Amino acid sequence: MKRLSLFLSLILSLMVKAQSTGLEHDIRKLYDRELKREAVHDAYLRVYSPSKDLDIAWAEGETASLDRPFHSASIGKTFTAVACLQLVEEGKLSVHLKLSDVLDSMVYKGLHRMEDGIDRTGSISIMQLLNHSSGLPDYFEDKPEDGPDLLSISLEKPDTLWTPLSLLEFARKMPAHFKPGVGYKYNDTEYILLGLIIEKISGLSLADYLEQKIFAPLEMNNTYMHLRAPQKGDDLAGMYVDEVNIANYKSLSLDWAGGGLATTMEDLLKFQIALNTNALIDAESFEFMQSWTKESAGFYYGLGLRKINMKKLFFAYPDLNLIGHNGSNGSFMFYCPELDVYVNGSFNQLKMQRKAVVFLTKVFTKIEKEHH
């Protein structure tokens, strides 16, 4: 009987392994298809789930390698939001505080201006910054009334080192979108202000706060704020605007508390697991981060977190929720609670933001079909 039990256990183990190998092959085909795109120079993909016996780590292309950090873009917003909620848990901050309660008016005045001429910036709450409901102009995506946008300037002047205050100054060139609290618009300006609030409350630079409170405790040994902290590990992998590698441009400093992290797939996985197992913030805070506002069909935003409901993206997709964040350069970091699967990585290319989401839906569809 014992032999039979061992035999059945072995057979089951082999069947699971065969399933996993077949699924890995299917995911590899999807990954290789993206690598063949003309715009893609590098591709990073990490798929991990102990419960599904999945452990994939691929980094291929011109500059990619498993240990080489890449620019994670707006994935950094999740880190900034976690830092804010850590300060809330410590009793040092409240999401109900207004900018006028925390920052000097010289920092924020004039950022929120509409046709009526009333400056409403000081009345914006921390919560409205976190969930993109402030109505502030977005220095990164909005175009000034006169002159080129920030990305164009940064590409033309690669040696420009943007400070948080200079980014806010640029935002002042643009009108606000709506009164605080009455709408939604994804916005990097808000996260610059959150970074300044973290610095003011903690007494640390944002780079040092993240290092001391998140990176070091989680042993994220290859993660740092690009251009704001000492480099860890290898040089940053290439990041492309069409065929131009901008990874070494100082003007990438246009990302700060809304992005700006250099990291690896393994480090991102450590962060994802810690966030989902309440190692960084407690369960109540993590649930609060998931106070969703609709962005567009299938997309929802919380506090530094994005949710993608695949079924609402396209009716033929399985009814799965992907919770995490993605970035303008095709970076992604999502967890699917229904499948217990973590996925992160990047395509390091500004043309790949939307295509990266489509790629993710295909990967999760393959996993769901295999384990349905």
Residue 45 identity (one-letter amino acid): L
CB atoms within 10 A of CB 39: 17
| DSSP, residue by residue, 240-253 | EETTEE-TT-GGGG
Q: Give pLDDT, residue 146.
A: 87
Integer-rounded Cα radius of gyration of the chain:
21
All structural domains of the chain, each given as residue ranges with its CATH number in brackets, are 24-69+266-371 (no CATH), 74-225 (3.40.710.10)
pLDDT of res. 20: 55
pLDDT along the chain (372 residues), means of 10: 42 42 95 96 97 97 95 98 98 98 98 95 98 98 92 96 98 96 98 98 98 98 97 95 96 96 98 98 98 98 98 97 98 98 98 97 97 81
Handedness of CA 160, 164, 167, 169 (dihedral sign): negative
Cα–Cα distances (Å) from 109 to 26, 88, 118, 130, 187, in that order, read 53, 25, 11, 19, 17
Question: Buried (b) or exposed (e) across 77-90, using 16+ Cβ within 10 A?
Answer: bbbbbbbbbbbbee
Cα gap 191→258, rounded to integer Å: 5
d(CA 345, CA 268): 9
pTM of the prediction?
Answer: 0.94
Q: Could you write out the DSSP letters of every residue in 36-76?
A: TSTT-SEEEEEEEEGGGTEEEEEEEESS--TTS-EE-GGGH
Type of residue numbered 55: D
3-state secondary structure 354-366: HHHHHHHHHHHHH
Question: Minimal CA–CA distance to 340: which of 24, 28, 13, 48?
Answer: 48
Output the pLDDT for position 83.
98
Rounded Cα distance between 74 and 52, Å, is: 28
Closest by alpha carbon to 138, among 237, 286, 255, 223?
255
Which pair of structure tokens corresponds to residue 138?
A: 């977005």
- Give CA–CA dist 79/267, Å, rounded: 13
Cα-based angle 265, 266, 272 (whole degrees, multiple of 5):
85
CA 226 – CA 237 distance, rounded (Å)? 12
The phi, psi pair for 263, rounded to 5°, reads -155, 175
